[in-house]
Amino acid sequence: MPLIKIIPLQFPAVEELEKMLSIISNRFKMETSLSTRPFDMNPYFNPVRSQYNANEIIQKLVTSAAENNKIVGITELDLFIPVLRYIFGQAYLGGSAALVSGHRLHNSRYGLAEDPNLYFNRLLKCLIHELGHAFGLKHCLKLGCVMVSTTYVEEMDQKSDLFCHSCQAELTELTQ
């Protein structure tokens, strides 16, 4: 039975993730589970950038994914890939692993009052977006679709956590 497995990577608010399990399960029509296994992020820290290397973390996650399963690592630590200043998340197209960071999704990071609901929604959008990639979906240009590419948190707020009609149709085909 294929499974979407969510692994907290030094992510303190595990109860937030529990709330997401049923939403993710519904959206992808797959069972979900939350791992309790501790994951050491120290080997992936880059002291020059004071960030964590997303490519290396994903490679590690891939090795622990069972056949047909998708594994999603979720962290509060700041992620980078060498060509970008920061990333919200990363996944290999049609691969078995994805990675998401809540680090830059907090309003407080941008000098605004913290908004837990907004943070939760942003994190959920990131998770669904990266999982979409892991299932084989590419970026979409349709306004509001969760698969629209986002660089800034404001853009994140302009899209929904839903797939547009054509992304949904493609996902259904990919997951059959």
Render the burial of 25-57: b for 16+ CB within 10 Å, e for the rest.
Answer: eebbebebeebeeebebeebeeeeeebbbbbeb
Assigned token pair, 144 = 């509001």
Are 61 and 7 contacting, i.e. CB atoms less than 8 angstroms apart? yes
> In the range 134-163, which residues lie near Zn ion by CB under 5 A?
140, 142, 145, 147
Choose the binding region for Zn ion from 18-26, 76-84, 151-159, 164-172 (rule: CB under 5 A): 164-172
* Residue from 16, 130, 170, 173 carrying the catalytic annotation: 130
Minimum CB distance to Zn ion smaller for 30 or for 126: 126
Q: How many residues bind Zn ion (CB under 5 A)?
A: 6
131 near Zn ion, judged by CB under 5 A: no
Assigned token pair, 50 = 């004071």
Q: Tell me which H or E stretch contains 73.
A: strand 70-75
Minimum CB distance to Zn ion smaller for 74 or for 147: 147
Minimum CB distance to Zn ion smaller for 4 or for 100: 100
Minimum CB distance to Zn ion smaller for 58 or for 147: 147
Active site residue 130: yes
167 near Zn ion, judged by CB under 5 A: yes
Give the separation between CA 20 and CA 170, rounded to whole angstroms. 23
Are 20 and 5 contacting, i.e. CB atoms less than 8 angstroms apart? no
164 near Zn ion, judged by CB under 5 A: yes
Task: Cite the active site residues.
Answer: 130
Interacting residues with Zn ion (CB under 5 A): 140, 142, 145, 147, 164, 167
